[in-house]
Amino acid sequence: MLRPSKKMLFAIEAVLDIAYHAGGEPVQSREITRRQGIPRRYLEQTLQQLVRSGILVGVRGPRGGYRLARERRRISIGEIVRVVRAMETAEDPIQDEAPASELGKQVIRPLWAELQEEIMSRLDAISIDELCMRSYKEGIPSEATNKLDFII
């Protein structure tokens, strides 16, 4: 877990993209692919799992796409990581019951489990809103401003 998978990074990027570029309209997966360069084969499967997990909402129709299921300040990076970890089929070597030495079982594996818990705790404390603010401070332009319509 200390090394994030491509799928995990793509999932975080996709949720951040939706939060940062939505502007009140659903974001289509092809827009995310265009902006982030995420392969569609990863993206669609991941977006659907994020919908099933209550992080995103799928909107049907010709102008459909994806939007956040709740406020961006209420979605943590830890939540997204857990969804992707559940999707990935690779076995966790820490949880693996394969034979190990006493040092491995009683010292190394517990240490690694503690480190993972600390990382997850830190990821739980970081919201999508925080990442949106970082993106704004870095000067990354948001396409949301192009989508706002002030016709009365």
Residue at 119 is within a domain:
no
Residue at 75 is within a domain:
yes
Residue at 115 is within a domain:
no
For residues 87 and 5, the answer to whether their CB atoms sit within 8 Å is no
Residue at 152 is within a domain:
no
Residue at 110 is within a domain:
no
For residues 27 and 21, the answer to whether their CB atoms sit within 8 Å is yes
Confidence of residue 97 (pLDDT cuts 50, 70, 90): low
**CATH number for the domain harbouring residue 53:** 1.10.10.10
Count of structural domains, the chain: 1
> Cα(22)–Cα(93) distance, rounded to whole angstroms?
38
Phi then psi for residue 58, to 5 deg, are -90, 135
Q: What's the CA dihedral at 16, 21, 27, 31 to 10 degrees? A: -90
Question: In angstroms, how far is CA 81 from the centroid of its own chain?
Answer: 6
Residue at 105 is within a domain:
no
Average confidence score pLDDT of the chain: 87
Residue at 49 is within a domain:
yes
Q: Where are the alpha helices (DSSP H) in the chain?
A: 6-21, 29-36, 40-52, 77-87, 102-103, 109-124, 128-137, 144-147
Domain of residue 66 covers 6-91+127-147
Residue at 96 is within a domain:
no
Q: Render pLDDT for 103-138 as a digit per residue (tens, 0 to 9).
A: 888 898 899 899 999 999 999 999 999 999 999 999
Q: Render pLDDT for 3-37 as a digit per residue (tens, 0 to 9).
A: 788 999 999 999 999 999 988 889 999 999 999 99
For 66, the enclosing helix (H) or strand (E) is strand 65-68
